[in-house]
């Protein structure tokens, strides 16, 4: 959608609500485009992180694709000039080809692929020829990073730390275990399972690989600890020093890992990895994402001050390599939004960095010597980026409300970015991708709750529509301007959809983020009730047909709302926390409840005060409950307990369990997830019904075909004076 094609939605001024100047356009008439379908969630091509060539003239990147009918997915590599010329596909194997990395001469690529049966590094000459497998490490590798002189690759692998760095010995251990008939866990310590896997004695290590032969020449992080430790969403866990002889990596060496976030940065010489020096020992919080300056005199990284607080402010820190002194360029008393990825200019004088801010992830510039960050570019959600020139020109992968994944270039001085790829142009032309209006709703202590509102396909402001309020998880995170399935699926079925960033959200200052601690069902709940009041007052919202949904902490909030309000006609709780005492005893990252609930169940009253399980007598709202059996973060028994209480109370309820899913189900499970939501909301709010049979879908374990002529459920279209489907 071009800027000239954008129209203003409309502006509402209610006593407790203001709109932002970001009210987005609907574009051409919705009748010109079809509504979003469930299969469209995975119909888009997902453009991944760009890799810039050494001369900054070309970019390599992966594109993730799905075939919904075949139930398959793959990723392929592409190449294009930064001027948009010469776009061409590089790999065609329909396997998991990803994470491209240019060789130092720019004439070939390294990339990770599973095409040989396990993840290995492959090499591909850009002037023609087939890709060749470079590594053959039996346990698989990931996270390739090239040394400055091009001689080595650093990769990660899950290894047996008590064995030598020998592929044959490591493989023999794997094979020996596989032959055993007994499957058992024996442990004497916590963190015996994590997210979706049981700890088996392996540890993540960084291995040094000869970039020419692919041979593993050493283990850079020997010992029993994960190096780098698990990072939610990934991230840079290590970096080569520009001298090619030294290396910095992340690791947490605290003895009780389940209660510690104390990742540190360790310095080693490549020829003496056993002699590691802790560079950040003085900080008991989290330190990570190390990045050397081009001349090697400085090391930039992210740092959290508070021990055990995973959502503490991520500060931009710079360590002087010679003196080992650290300067914090951002802090609570200044720039107090979460800093993310960063890049040095070639002269090392300026750092460009990304941050979470007001529902977006803009880029900033800041002198290494200190000063005030200057916002230099903002474009919806910038998923990954590279500095194209020191003047503040950027190459990035982006997505927005109505913008599926693509690559863009923003050059300093240009008024707008240039789009390099158009993988989803046909998709954008065919489908009515619904834009969002932004509201700022008055809350306590002068705060305003940033809320995104999306209207249905075929929207008519003179009609009334059912509403769905979506509460985010984290809880310290933010809804942001991004292309997501749930932003489009429900408006296509006739719903007004709202996403609020209440107390505890990131992007609105660290004080606002901290406000949820020790107050899980308090101020956040009151914020959401004020948001609901404001949304119910919108002239196009049917206040008698409102539903709510939430994932993780959002699922907790659904369970909390069960005992505290009856204003929603139905709700959906995904991977939620129901009984906080039993949650503490079964989850793995204990630092999280210790901080957010101020201790342990035997030392803190918050576990009882904020537990939805204490309010079962008030449960009455019809509820869909969704969970994954491999969710060790929020154990699925929390959802089972909630469903049991609903059933015992006679509350209409349905349970969906994905036996092979963790906290984040796979893509085929997510399609069913969306279908289950659509079916549930249609039953209770009167929107357009699911156009497939949900029971057949569950029984056959694949998405059934649409019926030839899907029928609207009787009475749904005109309920409460408005067209729910908008068709």
CA–CA separation, 428 vs 400, rounded Å? Answer: 12
The answer, yes or no, to whether residue 217 has pLDDT greater than 80, is: yes
- The label of the residue with tokens 């926390």 reads 577
For position 17, what pLDDT does the model report?
A: 58
CA–CA separation, 279 vs 264, rounded Å? Answer: 7
Q: Could you tell me if residue 111 is inside a domain?
A: no
Q: Average of pLDDT values for 12-29?
A: 43
Q: Average of pLDDT values for 83-88?
A: 97
Contact predicate 573/555, CB 8 Å: yes
Dihedral sign (CA 332, 336, 341, 347): negative
Q: Average of pLDDT values for 467-476?
A: 98
Q: Two tokens at 351?
A: 């750092």
For position 420, what pLDDT does the model report?
A: 98
DSSP H stretches of helix in 493-573: 510-514, 523-536, 553-562
Residue 31 pLDDT level (bands cut at 50, 70, 90):
low
For position 365, what pLDDT does the model report?
A: 98
Q: Could you tell me if residue 669 is inside a domain?
A: yes
Q: Could you tell me if residue 267 is inside a domain?
A: no
DSSP H stretches of helix in 372-445: 425-430
Provide the domain limits for residue 447: 3-32+434-721
Q: Could you tell me if residue 64 is inside a domain?
A: no
Helix (H) or strand (E) holding 528: helix 523-536
CATH number, position 703: 3.40.50.1820
Question: Among residues 391, 409, 552, which one has the least CA distance to residue 470?
Answer: 552
Domain count, the chain: 1
Determine if the pTM surpasses 0.85: yes
Helix (H) or strand (E) holding 582: helix 580-586
CA–CA separation, 325 vs 299, rounded Å? Answer: 10
The answer, yes or no, to whether residue 723 has pLDDT greater than 50, is: no
Share of the chain above pLDDT 70, in %: 93
For position 32, what pLDDT does the model report?
A: 86
For position 665, what pLDDT does the model report?
A: 97
CA–CA separation, 338 vs 233, rounded Å? Answer: 15
CA–CA separation, 231 vs 252, rounded Å? Answer: 12
CA–CA separation, 371 vs 698, rounded Å? Answer: 57
- The label of the residue with tokens 């963190």 reads 191
Q: Average of pLDDT values for 381-409?
A: 98
Residue 6 pLDDT level (bands cut at 50, 70, 90):
very low
Q: Could you tell me if residue 109 is inside a domain?
A: no
Helix (H) or strand (E) holding 619: none
Give residue-wise pLDDT tens across range 259-301. Answer: 999 999 999 999 999 999 999 999 999 999 999 999 999 999 9
How many Cβ atoms from other residues are within 10 Å of residue 86's Cβ? 10
For position 714, what pLDDT does the model report?
A: 33
Give residue-wise pLDDT tens across range 331-384. Answer: 999 999 999 999 999 999 999 999 999 999 999 999 999 999 999 999 999 999
The answer, yes or no, to whether residue 30 has pLDDT greater than 70, is: no
CA distances in angstroms from 14 to 439, 529, 535, 625, listed in the order given: 11, 16, 10, 35
Task: With H, G, I as helix, E, B as strand and everything else as coil, classify residue 485.
Answer: helix
* Residues whose CB is less than 8 angstroms from the CB of residue 702 and which lie 6 or more positions away in sequence, other chains included: 71, 668
CA–CA separation, 688 vs 681, rounded Å? Answer: 9
Give residue-wise pLDDT tens across range 190-212. Answer: 999 999 999 999 999 999 999 99
Burial class (CB in 10 A: 0-12, 13-18, 19+), 87: middle
For position 19, what pLDDT does the model report?
A: 56
List the 298-303 sheet strands across, edge first.
Answer: 287-292, 298-303, 315-320, 326-328
For position 704, what pLDDT does the model report?
A: 80
- The label of the residue with tokens 């910095």 reads 248
The answer, yes or no, to whether residue 23 has pLDDT greater than 80, is: no
Give residue-wise pLDDT tens across range 658-717. Answer: 999 999 999 999 999 999 999 999 999 999 999 989 999 999 888 887 765 444 333 333
Q: Could you tell me if residue 464 is inside a domain?
A: yes
Q: Could you tell me if residue 712 is inside a domain?
A: yes
Q: Two tokens at 288?
A: 């990570």
What is the pLDDT of the chain when averaged over all its residues?
93
- The label of the residue with tokens 């890049």 reads 343
Give residue-wise pLDDT tens across range 400-436. Answer: 999 999 999 999 999 999 999 999 999 999 999 999 9
Q: Could you tell me if residue 378 is inside a domain?
A: no
**DSSP code of residue 431:** B
CA–CA separation, 719 vs 495, rounded Å? Answer: 12
Helix (H) or strand (E) holding 384: strand 381-389
The answer, yes or no, to whether residue 250 has pLDDT greater than 90, is: yes
């Amino acid at each position: 959608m071009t800027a000239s094609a954008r129209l203003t939605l409309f502006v509402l001024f209610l006593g407790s609500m203001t709109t932002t100047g970001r009210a987005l356009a609907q574009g051409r008439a919705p009748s010109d485009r079809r509504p979003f379908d469930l299969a469209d969630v995975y119909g888009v091509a997902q453009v991944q992180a760009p890799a810039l060539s050494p001369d900054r003239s070309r970019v390599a990147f992966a594109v993730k694709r799905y075939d919904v009918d075949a139930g398959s997915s793959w990723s392929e590599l592409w190449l294009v000039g930064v001027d948009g010329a010469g776009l061409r596909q590089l790999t065609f194997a329909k396997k998991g080809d990803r994470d491209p990395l240019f060789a130092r001469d720019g004439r070939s690529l390294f990339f990770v692929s599973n095409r040989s049966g396990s993840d290995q590094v492959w090499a591909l000459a850009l002037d023609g020829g087939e890709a060749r497998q470079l590594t053959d490490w039996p346990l698989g590798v990931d996270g390739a990073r090239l040394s400055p002189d091009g001689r080595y690759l650093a990769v990660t692998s899950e290894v047996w730390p008590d064995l030598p760095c020998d592929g044959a010995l490591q493989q023999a251990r794997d094979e020996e275990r596989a032959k055993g008939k007994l499957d058992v866990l024996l442990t004497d310590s916590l963190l015996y399972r994590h997210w979706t896997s049981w700890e088996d004695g392996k540890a993540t290590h960084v291995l040094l690989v000869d970039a020419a032969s692919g041979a593993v020449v050493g283990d850079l992080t020997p010992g029993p600890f994960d190096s780098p430790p698990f990072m939610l969403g990934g991230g840079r866990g290590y970096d080569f020093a520009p001298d090619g002889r030294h290396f910095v990596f992340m690791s947490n060496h605290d003895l009780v890992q389940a209660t510690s976030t104390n990742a540190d940065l360790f310095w080693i010489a490549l020829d003496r990895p056993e002699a590691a020096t802790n560079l950040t020992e003085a900080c008991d919080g989290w330190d990570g994402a190390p990045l050397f300056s081009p001349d090697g005199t400085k090391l930039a990284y992210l740092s959290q001050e508070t021990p055990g607080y995973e959502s503490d402010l991520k500060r931009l820190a710079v360590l002087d390599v010679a003196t080992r002194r650290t300067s914090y360029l951002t802090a609570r008393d200044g720039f107090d939004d979460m800093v993310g990825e960063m890049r040095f200019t070639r002269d090392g004088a300026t750092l460009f960095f990304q941050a979470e801010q007001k529902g977006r992830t803009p880029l900033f510039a800041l002198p290494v010597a200190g000063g005030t960050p200057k916002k230099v570019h903002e474009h919806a959600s910038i998923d990954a980026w590279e500095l194209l020139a020191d003047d503040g020109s950027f190459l990035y992968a982006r997505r927005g409300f109505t913008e599926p994944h693509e690559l863009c270039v923003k050059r300093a001085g240009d008024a707008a970015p240039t789009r390099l790829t158009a993988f989803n142009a046909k998709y954008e032309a065919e489908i009515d991708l619904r834009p969002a209006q932004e509201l700022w709703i008055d809350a306590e202590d002068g705060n305003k709750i940033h809320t995104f509102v999306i209207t249905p396909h075929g929207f008519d402001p003179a009609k009334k529509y059912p509403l769905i309020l979506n509460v985010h998880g984290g809880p310290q995170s933010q809804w942001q301007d991004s292309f997501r399935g749930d932003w489009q699926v429900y408006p296509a079925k006739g719903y007004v959809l709202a996403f609020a960033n209440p107390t505890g959200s990131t992007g609105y200052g660290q004080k606002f983020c901290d406000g949820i601690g020790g107050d899980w069902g308090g101020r956040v709940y009151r914020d959401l009730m004020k948001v609901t009041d404001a949304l119910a007052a919108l002239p196009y919202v049917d206040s008698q047909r409102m539903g709510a949904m939430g994932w993780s902490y959002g699922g907790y909030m659904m369970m909390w709302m069960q005992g505290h309000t009856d204003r929603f006609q139905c709700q959906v709780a995904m991977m939620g926390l129901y009984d906080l005492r039993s949650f503490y005893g079964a989850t793995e990252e204990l630092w999280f409840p210790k901080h957010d609930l101020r201790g342990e169940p035997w030392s803190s009253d918050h576990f009882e005060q904020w537990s939805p399980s204490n309010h079962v007598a008030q449960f009455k709202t019809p509820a869909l409950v969704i969970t994954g059996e491999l969710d060790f973060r929020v154990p699925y028994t929390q959802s089972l307990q909630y469903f049991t209480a609903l059933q015992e109370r006679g509350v209409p309820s349905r349970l969906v369990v994905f036996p092979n899913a963790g906290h984040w189900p796979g893509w085929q499970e997510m399609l069913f997830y969306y279908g289950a939501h659509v079916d549930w909301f249609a039953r209770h709010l009167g929107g357009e019904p699911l156009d497939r049979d949900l029971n057949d879908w569950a029984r056959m374990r694949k998405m059934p075909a649409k019926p030839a002529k899907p029928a609207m459920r009787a009475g749904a279209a005109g309920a409460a004076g408005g067209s729910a489907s908008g068709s």
